[in-house]
Amino acid sequence: MGSEEGSLADKLLEEEEAEPGGSVRVLQKGNGRALPFCRKLCFAVGGAPYQMTGNAIGFFLQIFLLDVVQMEAFYASLILFIGRVWDAFTDPIVGFLVSKSRRTRFGKLLPWILFSMPFGVASYFLLWFSPSYTMSWKYSFFWYLMTYCAFHTCMSCFHVPYSALTMFLGGDQHDRDSATAYRMGVEVVATLAGAAIQGQIVGAYHTQTAETCRMMQNGTELNNTSPLVNSLNNTKWAYTLAAMVIGCLYFLCSLILLLGVKEHTGCFAPKDHFHVSYITGLKLVMSHKPYLSLTFGFLFISLAFQLVQNNFALFCTHAAGLGNHFQHIIFVILVSATIMVPFWQWVLVKLGKKIALSMLPDVVDDFRAKNPRCLDLEPLFYSFYVFFTKFAAGASLGFSTLCLHFSGYRPGSCEYIPAVAMTLKVLIAPVPITLLLIGLIIFYFYPINEARRKELKVELEGVVKSWEVELEENTL
């Protein structure tokens, strides 16, 4: 496998020109020192905005568009599908632009995070803000489509360089694994925070709407001539307030990341190293078998979770009869998952784990070991990794909302529709279980285990030593 990939890389690189200059270029110094705890923690906090906003959008945007904005399911499916597909395409484009951008004294990645952050906060707030309570469906459709795409663009400019930053924190494999563990811990907390903040702020108003529907179904006479309208207006304001709170946390976490993390810049590079073109880099990345295995395995597992996440609030409201309590159910599920993390970590320590914690950095290391002359492809690895999962997620989300449209879902309706309930039950259970099984089967054949990681460490150390020798020879 390695020889096949190496020959392909050599063939592609024959078409590229080596960077001029007759000496070895030194890209990083001081990587031998362990990462301090403070830097790991600040790096981890930087992952919170993506999880908080993504979780709030995943759980609540669909029900917001359908039951609060009262948009037709067909147009809501278009917004969700186009927005996710747009998000998928912006990731590789941003990855390419990041890899080609000039390095500043603050690094290559951190400036992208800095300048995208304020626009990301603003677009997230506008996504949940209704400029008029009497918007036409055309104006409403384009407003939410534009703000949704704008937010995803800003978040790509934030998260793609942040993901690639894992490889440029300094230290070795152990330090990266440790930083990844800190990041995952913070992301779990951020996931809880996003669901808790959004759910608790808007949940009371969803409960009020559900109670009003129940009273109308029972034929109870209401004093107010337009109880649903008043409840709807209050719910819209609650979503705006929740967006303000999460936006402030987005800004604060980004500030901690920017002030607490110093970007390193790689390692020694040989004098004949290559900066490949976008097409060549794409061919190299997509021909790397461990990368394909990781990407497609994560794709199916991500699809399973996203289907449940995106349809859970609607399932509780329109199929399970738990619309009064869905925000509490979401919070209990996430807390239970968080509590179980230490238990499964203990099980993995006792039984051993076949797959390392930081899988994508290991795939990049495997590529570096097989193609030591190729530089600056890390953002492409991260961006295309996210591209496939987001594209498939957009297709699945648009498909699930379209299924609701054809099953007879009516926005703002208090009527129980059996076909809608059955559609939601299928989207919540059988389909995600099937996708999970497919993903687990793919991961069973994932080629990089702990033994291969040890081999990679030795191979990369050998590459760096050979470059150091070349550097000494050129300085004599």
pLDDT at position 357, please? 53
Q: Are 206 and 191 spatial neighbours (Cβ–Cβ below 8 Å)? A: no
From residue 70, alpha-carbon distances to 61, 124, 413 in Å are 12, 20, 9
pLDDT band at 22 (very low <50, low <70, confident <90, very high): very low
Among 4-8, 217-221, 390-394, the range with the most confident prediction by mean pLDDT is 390-394
Q: Are 13 and 377 spatial neighbours (Cβ–Cβ below 8 Å)? A: no
E-strand ranges in 171-220 read none
Q: Are 21 and 274 spatial neighbours (Cβ–Cβ below 8 Å)? A: no
pLDDT at position 473, please? 63
The phi-psi region of residue 333 (left if phi > 0; otherwise alpha if psi is between -120 and 50; otherwise beta) is alpha
DSSP code at position 274: B
Percent of the chain topping pLDDT 90: 15
Over residues 456-465, the pLDDT tens digits come to: 778 777 766 7
pLDDT at position 471, please? 59
pLDDT at position 404, please? 84
pLDDT at position 125, please? 94
How many Cα atoms sit within 13 Å of 276 on the Cβ side? Answer: 24
> What mean pLDDT, rounded, does the chain reach?
78
Return d(Cα 399, Cα 337) in angstroms, integer.
27
Say if residue 376's pLDDT is above 90: no
Q: Exposed, middle or buried by CB within 10 Å (0-12, 13-18, 19+), for 132?
A: exposed
Percent of the chain topping pLDDT 70: 76
Q: Exposed, middle or buried by CB within 10 Å (0-12, 13-18, 19+), for 418?
A: exposed
Q: Which domain holds residue 294?
A: 2-475
Residues 6 or more apart in contact with residue 189 via CB below 8 angstroms:
48, 338
Return d(Cα 272, Cα 448) in angstroms, integer.
28
pLDDT at position 265, please? 65
Domain count, the chain: 1
Which tokens is 141 given?
């459709």
The CATH number of whichever domain residue 229 belongs to comes to: 1.20.1250
Over residues 58-67, the pLDDT tens digits come to: 888 888 888 8
pLDDT at position 416, please? 74
pLDDT at position 21, please? 42
Query: What 3-state DSSP class applies to 322?
Result: coil
Return d(Cα 191, Cα 147) in angstroms, integer.
22
pLDDT band at 114 (very low <50, low <70, confident <90, very high): very high
State the SS3 of 219-230: CCCCCCCCHHHH
pLDDT band at 467 (very low <50, low <70, confident <90, very high): low
Enumerate the H helices of 261-377 as residue ranges: 278-286, 289-318, 326-351, 359-370
Over residues 439-453, the pLDDT tens digits come to: 989 888 888 877 777
Say if residue 342's pLDDT is above 80: no
The string over 284-319, giving b where at least 16 C-beta atoms fall within 10 Å of a residue's C-beta and e elsewhere, is bbeebebbebbbbbbbbbbbbebbbbbbbbbbbbbb
The C-alpha angle with vertex 210 and arms to 205 and 212, in degrees rounded to 5, equals 95
Find, among 298, 289, 267, the residue nearest to 373 by Cα.
Answer: 267
The C-alpha angle with vertex 112 and arms to 108 and 118, in degrees rounded to 5, equals 155
Q: Are 5 and 370 spatial neighbours (Cβ–Cβ below 8 Å)? A: yes
pLDDT at position 462, please? 76
Q: Are 262 and 179 spatial neighbours (Cβ–Cβ below 8 Å)? A: no
Of 177 and 65, the one with more pLDDT? 65
- Helix axes of 37-45 and 227-260: crossing angle, nearest 10 degrees: 150
Query: In the predicted model, what is the mean pLDDT of residues 110-131?
Result: 91
Return d(Cα 256, Cα 46) in angstroms, integer.
7
Return d(Cα 340, Cα 374) in angstroms, integer.
41
Say if residue 272's pLDDT is above 60: no
Enumerate the H helices of 218-288 as residue ranges: 227-260, 278-286
Return d(Cα 50, Cα 191) in angstroms, integer.
9
Over residues 212-232, the pLDDT tens digits come to: 666 665 655 444 445 556 677
Return d(Cα 392, Cα 371) in angstroms, integer.
30
Return d(Cα 432, Cα 82) in angstroms, integer.
22
pLDDT band at 27 (very low <50, low <70, confident <90, very high): very low
Find, among 162, 179, 166, the residue nearest to 257 by Cα.
Answer: 162
Return d(Cα 296, Cα 306) in angstroms, integer.
15
- Of all helices (H) and strands (E), which one includes residue 37? helix 37-45
Q: Are 84 and 397 spatial neighbours (Cβ–Cβ below 8 Å)? A: yes
